[in-house]
């Protein structure tokens, strides 16, 4: 066990929407009994890519004693459960509806919502 940063899920706030599942490249988050769960501490690197997509603010980063992040555990986990199979919903750019198959997508906050924007629309939003 090591002291490190790791994703924390507030089950009171989680509505089980599943938006946080696909941003996690390690496949660490799954929806179980209607709530998001970090299925094993060693799969969560604490990078927090999932935080920006949560509409309810249920996701935060905490520092606590946990199993060290393990690249090997992630590889074994993804071999058994390919990440595409863990995706609950298809994500797309809120502006043009391109999917992540068509352009890189980034999570942003916009007008109070957590949305995805693609690499083609993001410059327009920045520069007008
Ligand atoms: S995005 Fe937030 S509300 Fe939706 S399942 Fe994940 S933690 Fe729960």
pLDDT value at 1 more than 80: yes
The Cα 21–Cα 83 span in angstroms is 9
Residue 104's pLDDT is what?
93
pLDDT range class, residue 81, cuts 50, 70, 90: confident
pLDDT value at 92 more than 90: no
pLDDT range class, residue 87, cuts 50, 70, 90: very low
Q: Is the pTM of this model over 0.75?
A: no
**pLDDT tens figures, 23-44:** 888 999 999 999 999 999 999 9
The tokens describing 24, both together, are 């996690």
Q: Is the minimum distance from the CB of 18 to ligand 1 under 6 angstroms?
A: yes
Contacts 24+ apart (CB under 8 A), 89-97: 89/17, 89/18, 89/19, 89/21, 89/22, 91/19, 91/22, 91/116, 92/116, 93/117, 93/118, 93/120, 93/121, 95/121, 95/124, 95/125, 96/120, 96/121
Q: Is the minimum distance from the CB of 59 to ligand 1 under 6 angstroms?
A: yes
Residue 89's pLDDT is what?
59
The Cα 122–Cα 105 span in angstroms is 9
**Radius of gyration in angstroms for the set of CA atoms belonging to the chain, rounded to a whole number:** 15
Q: Is the minimum distance from the CB of 28 to ligand 1 under 6 angstroms?
A: no
Q: Atom 8 in ligand 1: which residue has the minimum CA distance?
A: 14
The tokens describing 82, both together, are 């390919």
Percent of residues, the chain, with pLDDT higher than 70: 91
Q: Atom 2 in ligand 1: which residue has the minimum CA distance?
A: 54
- Report the separation in Å between the CA atom of 31 and the middle of ligand 1, taken as the mean of its atom positions: 9
Q: Is the minimum distance from the CB of 56 to ligand 1 under 6 angstroms?
A: yes
Ligand 1 pocket test: pick from 54, 60, 88, 89 the residue with the most ligand atoms within 8 Å of its Cβ: 54
Query: Higher model confidence: residue 109 or residue 12?
Result: 12
């Amino acid at each position: 066990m090591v002291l490190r940063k790791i994703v924390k899920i507030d089950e009171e706030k989680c509505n089980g929407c599943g938006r946080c599942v696909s941003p996690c490249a390690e496949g660490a988050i799954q929806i179980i009994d209607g709530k998001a769960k970090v299925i094993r501490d060693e799969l969560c690197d604490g990078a927090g890519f999932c935080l920006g997509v949560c509409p309810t603010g249920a996701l935060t980063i905490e520092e606590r004693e946990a199993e060290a992040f393990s690249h090997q555990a992630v590889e074994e986990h993804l071999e058994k459960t390919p990440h595409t199979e863990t995706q609950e919903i298809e994500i797309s750019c809120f502006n043009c509806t391109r999917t992540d198959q068509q352009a890189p997508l980034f999570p942003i906050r916009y007008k109070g919502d957590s949305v995805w924007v693609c690499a083609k629309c993001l410059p327009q939003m920045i520069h007008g």
